[in-house]
Amino acid sequence: MRILLWPLALCTVVVASATAAEPVLKISADTGFLDDAYALRPDGEAVADIETDGASSAKLRTTAFGGKPVKVASVSANAVAIYFVTPGKFVVVSRDPKTQKMSAQLYGGSGKIGATDQISMGKVDGRWIIFGHSESHHGKGTEHVVSAYSTETLALITRRDFKEDGEGRIALGGARLKPVWWQDGFGTLATLKAGDYDKAHDIRTPDKFALVDILSGKVREEKAITDMLGFARTMAAHKDHLEEAFAHFNDEHTGLLVSDGLDEYEVKLRQPIAMYQIETLRSEQVDDDRIAVSVVTDPVNPEALKHQKVDPDFFELYIVNRKNHTAQLALRLAAEGRPLSWQVRGQRLLLLRKSKGFDRGGVELDLYDIP
Of the pLDDT bands very low, low, confident and very high (cuts 50, 70, 90), residue 187 is very high
Q: Which of 21-25, 63-67, 222-226 has the lowest mean pLDDT?
A: 222-226
Quick one: pLDDT at residue 287? Answer: 93
* CATH classification of the domain holding 42: 2.130.10
Quick one: pLDDT at residue 32? Answer: 95
User: Does residue 1 fall inside a structural domain?
Assistant: no
11 with 325: CB under 8 angstroms? yes
User: Does residue 361 fall inside a structural domain?
Assistant: yes
Contacts with 345 (C-beta within 8 Å, 6 or more apart), sequence order: 40, 41, 42, 43, 44, 286
User: Does residue 298 fall inside a structural domain?
Assistant: yes
Q: How many domains does the chain have?
A: 1
Sheet holding 263-267, edge to edge: 9-10, 263-267, 256-260, 245-249
User: Does residue 143 fall inside a structural domain?
Assistant: yes
User: Does residue 191 fall inside a structural domain?
Assistant: yes
Q: What type of residue is 130? A: I
User: Does residue 333 fall inside a structural domain?
Assistant: yes
**What's phi and psi for 231, nearest 5 deg?**
-65, -40
Average pLDDT, the chain: 91
User: Does residue 239 fall inside a structural domain?
Assistant: yes
| Residue 146 CA to its chain's centroid (Å) | 18
72 with 107: CB under 8 angstroms? yes
User: Does residue 4 fall inside a structural domain?
Assistant: no
Residue 20 lies in domain: 9-369
What does the pLDDT look like over 261-285, one tens digit per residue?
A: 999 999 999 999 999 999 999 999 9
Reported as half-sphere exposure (CB side, CA atoms, 13 A), residue 183 has a value of 25
Q: Quote the pTM value.
A: 0.90
Q: Which of 33-42, 55-64, 137-146 has the lowest mean pLDDT?
A: 137-146
Quick one: pLDDT at residue 19? Answer: 53
